[in-house]
């Protein structure tokens, strides 16, 4: 009976001793692999490669983060950019800070640091997302936006790794390796804050650009409306030259006063004929008379000579 219990214990022990995490992701759904494993659990599988009992855990962050490790915990499983990317995404999915590359490799020897690849063979039963191999070390900060845009194939123990894997000497731990947060980490700016600033800057730039385009369009439309009446109706812009009409009632230089003739049809009375009577002056003969309505202008001045007297008639006795 005792031998049976020991055999069962030896069989179950390797099954129970697996990588684990108690971190719960509430954000960054893109960080999960095709198997539904979070970046926290994937990093636990990679960290277990440097242990003898395959036991490795990633605790949930109880403060603002980021993840880190002490001087005596540095090994090839931790001192690489793939592990840093995975744990940065793990911190962000919990709503915490991701930290910088300089903080992560602070206790790593120079000959142990690897960038763009995982230096050990990948474990089975886990797929590493392609974004975990992206190099963010130059910028020094993990960028969640760029990471979420990576669409390369996942890496696993069966398929070839996305990054060129180079085996390096491993520092093996005999105990359970737990990656925890760095004690008293210096304040850092999370990539989400940088992304928020970039988004706000893009929105402001877009609004200014739209405003400038709208202003140009307004000026062009206004100018076009101003020119349309002259194009459609040319006479609208024509102003005839005004001239002063002469006043016909007032004579001016060079104007002839109209000549009026009395055209009334009144009958002209004919005096009754009377024989000449020396005692009656009305019978005296008179010279020819002109109508009162007719006045002929004199082309030259006339001055009478002498005083006219009664005409003399021959063969007429004088009184």
pLDDT value for 170: 37
pLDDT value for 166: 37
| Rounded mean pLDDT, 253-276 | 56
Lowest mean pLDDT among 184-193, 210-219, 306-315: 184-193
pLDDT at 148 over 90: yes
Tens digits of per-residue pLDDT, 226-240? Answer: 766 655 555 555 555
pLDDT value for 243: 52
pLDDT value for 4: 36
pLDDT over 70, % of the chain: 55
pLDDT value for 319: 47
Lowest mean pLDDT among 9-23, 108-122, 202-216: 9-23
pLDDT value for 84: 98
SS (H, E, C) the chain: CHHHHHHHHHHHHHHHCCCEECCCCCCCHHHCCCCCCCHHHHHHHHHHHHECCCCEEECCCCCCCCEECCHHHCCCCCCEHHHHHHHHHHHHHCCCCCCEHHHHCCCCCHHHCECCCCCCCCCCCCCECHHHHCCCCCCCECCHHHHHCCCCCCECCCCCCCCCCCCCCCCCECCCEEEEECCCCCCCCCHHHHHHHHHHHHHHHHHHHHHHHHHHHHHHHHHHHHHHHHHHCHHHHCCCCCCCCCCCCCCCCCCCCCCCCCCCCCCCCCCCCCCCCCCCHHHCCCCCCCCCCCCCCCCCCCCCCCCCCCCCCCCCCCC
Q: What is the mean pLDDT of the chain?
A: 74
pLDDT value for 245: 54
| Rounded mean pLDDT, 172-189 | 43
Model confidence at 181, pLDDT cuts 50, 70, 90, reads: very low
pLDDT value for 280: 76
pLDDT at 36 over 60: yes
| Rounded mean pLDDT, 97-126 | 96
The pTM assigned to this predicted structure is 0.50
pLDDT at 184 over 50: no
pLDDT at 164 over 50: no
pLDDT at 277 over 90: no
């Amino acid at each position: 009976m005792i031998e049976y219990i020991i055999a069962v214990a030896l069989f179950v022990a390797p099954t129970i001793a697996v990588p684990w995490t108690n971190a719960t992701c509430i954000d960054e759904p893109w960080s999960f692999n095709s198997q539904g494993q979070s970046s926290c659990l994937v990093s636990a599988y990679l960290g277990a490669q440097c242990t003898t009992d395959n036991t490795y855990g990633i605790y949930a962050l109880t403060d603002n983060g980021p993840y880190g490790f002490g001087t005596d915990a540095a090994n090839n499983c931790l001192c690489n950019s793939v592990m840093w990317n995975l744990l940065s995404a793990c911190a962000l999915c919990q709503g915490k800070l991701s930290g910088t590359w300089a903080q992560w490799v602070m206790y790593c020897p120079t000959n142990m640091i690897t960038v763009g690849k995982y230096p050990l063979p990948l474990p089975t039963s886990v797929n590493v997302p392609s974004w975990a191999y992206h190099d963010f070390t130059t910028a020094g900060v993990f960028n969640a936006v760029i990471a979420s845009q990576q669409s390369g194939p996942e890496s696993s123990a069966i398929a070839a790794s996305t990054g060129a894997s180079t085996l390096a000497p491993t520092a093996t731990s005999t105990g359970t390796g737990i990656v925890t947060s760095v004690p008293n980490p210096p304040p850092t700016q999370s990539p989400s804050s940088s992304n928020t600033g970039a988004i706000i800057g893009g929105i402001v730039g877009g609004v200014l650009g739209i405003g400038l385009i709208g202003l140009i369009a307004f000026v062009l439309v206004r100018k076009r409306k101003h020119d349309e009446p002259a194009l459609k109706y040319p006479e609208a812009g024509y102003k005839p030259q005004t001239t002063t009409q002469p006043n016909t009632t007032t004579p001016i230089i060079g104007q002839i006063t109209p000549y009026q003739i009395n055209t009334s049809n009144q009958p002209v009375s004919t005096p009754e004929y009377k024989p000449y009577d020396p005692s009656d002056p009305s019978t005296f003969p008179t010279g020819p008379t002109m109508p009162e309505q007719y006045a002929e202008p004199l082309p030259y001045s006339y001055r009478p000579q002498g005083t006219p007297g009664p005409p003399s008639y021959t063969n007429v006795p004088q009184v």
